[in-house]
Amino acid sequence: MFTIDSSFEGGSIEVLDASDPGNVRLNLKTDPNAEESYWFFFRLSGARGRTCRLVIENAGGAFRLAEREGTDVPGPYQDYRACGSADLDTWFRVPTDFENGRLVITVSPDRDCFFLASFPPYGHERHNRLIARAAAASHATATVLGRTPDGNAIDLLQFGEARADRTVCWITARQHPSETMAEWFAEGLIDRLVDPDDFLARKLLDECVFYVVPCMNPDGARRGNTRRNGGKVDLNREWVEPSAEVSPEVFHVRDLMHRTGVDFYMDVHGDEELPCVFLAGPLEVPSLTPAMRENFRAFELALQQANPDYRTGYPYPGGPPPTANLQMAWNYVGETFKCLSILVEQPFKDCEHARDAKKGYSPERARRLGAASLVALNAVRSKL
């Protein structure tokens, strides 16, 4: 019997009609208290030897279309291919078309069980293994900063000793739960920091203390939300006045930042629309200094040298906003601490200048980019 199921951690899809595998009708689920819908993650059962045509009918109305009006920002499903896997370990891109506002995915599994997702998921078990692996290092500590509205732990990893002569580096990832590539990026960075044979990491740990939150939104990740947390808010619009009840993730992280200070910050995300990795710096904040601008440009150039998935020359279509929205993490941190504060965006699609026909942009590439970000940090650390 052919069935579709998403009743598992991070699962998300609404089944309208699955009576005919060749014409399955689906809808994206909408986040609570919001109109945002992009993430999907579901399982086909009884699919072996069948040609399955899966039509997500409301894809044309997905994800902040009003924000793209009057710009040349592409839609989220233009030149996009969904991710498929038979074992949840090996993921690859599958044939996908966007037709008249509908996303059409066509697969012919050679097994009865087959998974489809917007991007390869990053589950809570893998998150726990990452925390445990990092905490085993002698120079690392793992702390629970607080609890989310759903009661999940807000995990913080600290690498190195906090001392007056050390650069204070903060990294947060996955404020938006659907942007799983952000936690893959964090994993690559963390694994490099705990590698005893990585001499660049050892050098940085002699000069810096790192505070890393690999998943800012565990509620949304486990619920299968696109952007919202268990308090039904977008965490990346909560940084000016976070709530201990509704947005405790930001409340507790921001509180600790004010106690440690911040010299360098990366807020790591994923982007549904643009076919590239792109960075934004604190270039529109009211207190921008020449040093902040120069350090951002130097970081960009160093990251481009360290990893070819990043290439300068991809400004956001429509240009930068006239003023910085301080509700967003990297703007708030840059303005508050007068530091190098960077937004990292990775594609759900592929990098148009470095295409991979089989996998597109992938967890492996996100991990390598996270590791490479330490090379770029090293290039600017003495100037921070």
Residue among 179, 300, 335, 345 flagged as catalytic: 345
* DSSP structural state of residue 75: P
| Residue 306, CA atoms < 13 Å, CB-side half-sphere | 20
User: Cβ–Cβ contacts within 10 Å for residue 315, how many?
Assistant: 10
CA 52: distance to chain centroid? 29
User: Residue 44 in contact with residue 116, Cβ under 8 Å?
Assistant: yes
Q: Which residues on neighbouring strands pair with residue 330, listed in sequence order?
A: none
Sign of the torsion formed by the C-alpha atoms of 230, 233, 236 and 239:
negative
Our answer to whether residue 345 is catalytic in this structure is: yes
Residue type, 197: D
User: Residue 369 in contact with residue 277, Cβ under 8 Å?
Assistant: yes
Query: How are beta strands 208-213 and 153-159 bridged, if at all?
Result: antiparallel
Q: Which residues on neighbouring strands pair with residue 341, listed in sequence order?
A: 265
Q: How far, in Å, CA of 366 to CA of 180, rounded?
A: 10
Q: Which residues on neighbouring strands pair with residue 208, listed in sequence order?
A: 167
Phi, then psi, of 129 in degrees rounded to 5: -65, -35
* DSSP structural state of residue 373: H
Instruction: Please list the active-site residues.
Output: 345
